[in-house]
Amino acid sequence: MAESTRALEQFSFLFTQDGGYLRIPIWGHIPLSRAARRIIEHPDFVRLSKIRQLGFVYCVFPGASHTRFEHSVGTYHLSVLALQRLALNPANWHDSRTPKIGREDAHLFLAAALLHDIGHYPFAHLVDHLGEGSTKYKVQSTKTGERTGSIRNGGAFESHEDRAGSYILADRSPGSIYSILRDDWGISEPERVAEIITKPESSGLPGKMLSGILDPDKMDYLMRDARACGVPYGNIDTDRLIESLVLDVEGPRRRLGITEKGIAPLESLVFAKYMMFRHIYWHHTVRIAVAMFTRFVQDGLDAEAVDPSSFYRLPDDALIEELAGVADRIPSGELIVRLKDRALYKRGITLYPEYAAGETEFAISREELERVKELYRHPERRREKEAAICELLSREEGIRLSGFEALLDIPRVVTVFDVDDFRELHVLTASQTGAGSRFVPFDSYGFTQLTADFAQEFERFSRRVQVICRPDLRDAVAAHWREIKAIVVS
């Protein structure tokens, strides 16, 4: 017993409260270590309090004004609870002296959880694919100076993951995040924290704990976003789910698993994510705002009227104001003015995957959908399609359009359900014969119908493509839907 107690002392940092408390929605009174408070009070972290978590969702759900700051603190809090559970559960020790997760990896995971969004800037997920394949953009980074041709995918914007690395590594002076991680957190190589955030899939156990079907990031944002939007969809039994966590480090596996008690709360998480994407994140009006914004930014970049570095300097509202200030320099400047005034475009027609519910004449085949998805990856081609639709309407209706009055809304092509990680999930089960316990695959053992295949099918059914337009053009778009559909899927 004394030996076990001494072994557990290496995790005493999980129970320290020498940094006072912080109260945030959802989780209430959160105890902090002094090391955590030093990060939270750093100016680079404080800037997250000016960046909305959900971008344009507030256009539909006005309460969605919460920030990356409170989400990051919430993710840290759940990570502490998860590590406490793992440390106290005998199932997560090889023997009474050897834990399945060491002190260093626990510190790395906790630091990465707190800092996972440190590189975020306004609307990062909406613009990070613009300009891909181009080398003409120069980005003035507030942390790394001018960079040319080294941006991920060669685009106009750095990914928020890459910028996280810059915030952690660029400044190593006393008081920097790097020095706090080294001196206050006791992390000998803060570079590993940056690596966990930028490349979680190749960062061993801490990376797999931070990014996957069971990660604390997901548990926090689903609960937080649902509460802010005033909807009941995002409820998760986080207490039960965290209580069920176990370390699955058999053979080559290095990840989180669950006990059988975690199956029901995992179902609640999967279903919550399904409902939040269906009704909140992919709400048709939110997607309209996104399509208008990305087209304006794309045109602004080409006209050299939009400076990507302004995204890194400014909070959401100030950025919109600055972009609206250059609207008269861009033919499609009307789009950002409309967004600022919430005078949004409307749905013209919606094209459905052939296996989804909808009018059969508006269905598109799998092959056609694959071609449409390429338009997301190549915004230049998407803009050509939009121009062709506007040209058609101009010709057939006898009106003069400039090429941005009808737009395509194409869902983000990256999977949102961690399908591969879901398929790798194992459950620790107790033998009915008393032969001990073993890990078995969640996805194929018959625990539930909410499997990875369910998640993948949801994504397939939800890949709807909208043709949106200026409100006065709705009847014209509806009248010429056949020709417009042919332009989109050709």
Q: Write down the domain spans for the chain.
A: 2-282
Residue 61 token pair: 């759900």
Inform me whether the pLDDT recorded for 455 exceeds 90: no
Backbone angles phi, psi at 355, to 5 degrees: -95, 10
- What's the full length of the chain, in residues? 490
Average pLDDT in the 6-35 region? 91
Tokens found for residue 7: 């072994």
pLDDT at 227 over 90: yes
Query: How far is Cα 51 from Cα 43, in angstroms, rounded to an integer?
Result: 14
Statement: residue 265 has pLDDT above 80: yes
Average pLDDT over residues 466-476: 97
pLDDT band (50, 70, 90) for residue 96: confident
Which fold is adopted by the domain 2-282? Hypothetical protein af1432 (1.10.3210)
Weakest mean pLDDT among 317-326, 390-399, 436-445: 436-445
Torsion of CA 259, 262, 267, 268, to 10 degrees: -170
Q: Is the pLDDT of residue 346 over 50?
A: yes
Cα 39 to Cα 7, 36, 224, distances in angstroms: 28, 5, 22
Q: How far is CA 426 from the centre of its chain?
A: 24
What is the per-residue DSSP string for 179-246? HHHHHTS--S-THHHHHHHH-GGGSHHHHHHHSSTT-HHHHHHHHHHHHHHT-STT---HHHHHHTEE
> Residue 320 has what pLDDT?
97
Q: How far apart are CA 223 and CA 183, in angstroms?
A: 33
pLDDT confidence band for 133 (50 / 70 / 90): very low
Residue 219: closest CA among 164, 279, 272, 297: 272
C-alpha atoms less than 13 angstroms from C-alpha of 376 in its C-beta half-sphere: 20
pLDDT tens digit sequence for 63-80: 999 999 999 999 999 999
With 60 as the cut, is the pLDDT of residue 3 above it?
A: no
